[in-house]
Amino acid sequence: MSRNILKTGRLTLREITPDDLPFLHRIFGDAECMRYYPGIKSFDETARWFQRLAFDSYASHDFGLWAVTDRQSGALLGDCGITLQETSAGLEPEIGYHLWRDHWGKGYAAEAATACRDYALETLGLARIVSIVRLDNIPSQRVAERVHRRREKFAKAGNADGSLVEFYLYITDRT
């Protein structure tokens, strides 16, 4: 049984379970969903991704990527949560989200990410939370602009060959 973490008006964010992996692999194995990533993932790569950024992270940090579900139907829509990612300031808590494309454009990503931001600052007591978005990923920029207070640019390894890519770093500091 997975633990519910957050509820919003339309969504429940809960811990991911191994039973969620086949649906989540639909996202990570889909070229359109992974357009702004170096490439699609195999099922085993998807399972390792969630082992590190969900299961291991829950145990180590009490946060990670969570399943985003519809509150009414219980349907799994994708994932959203807090992971530790390398930024220009070092290792920082970052809000990431991935939804199956049928659920794009409905405000779910912003709703889930806003709940994660508030949870990070208020419940976990973190001083700062960020989102990392590629310069060409306009849909995720729109989400991050609704969630965060300011934006900077930074470069990090982001291509399959390890070459540097510029990203926007959206930032919210606890006030």
| pLDDT tens, position by position, 67-98 | 999 999 999 999 999 999 999 899 999 999 99
- Which domains does the chain possess? 4-130 (3.40.630.30)
Question: What residues are paired with 169 via a beta bridge?
Answer: 132, 152
- C-beta separation of 36 from 23 below 8 A: no
- State mean pLDDT over 141-152: 96
15-69, pLDDT tens digit by residue?
A: 999 999 999 999 999 999 999 988 999 999 999 999 999 999 999 999 999 999 9
* pLDDT at 175 exceeding the cut of 90: no
Edge to edge, the sheet with strand 150-157 lists: 4-7, 11-15, 65-70, 76-87, 90-99, 128-134, 164-173, 150-157
Structure confidence at residue 1 (pLDDT): 66
Mean pLDDT of the chain, nearest integer:
95
Rounded Cα distance between 111 and 102, Å, is 16
User: What single-letter DSSP state applies at residue 62?
Assistant: S
Structure confidence at residue 67 (pLDDT): 98
Structure confidence at residue 98 (pLDDT): 97
- State mean pLDDT over 100-118: 97
Rounded Cα distance between 157 and 43, Å, is 23
Q: Please state whether 145 falls in left (phi above 0), alpha (psi between -120 and 50) or beta.
A: alpha
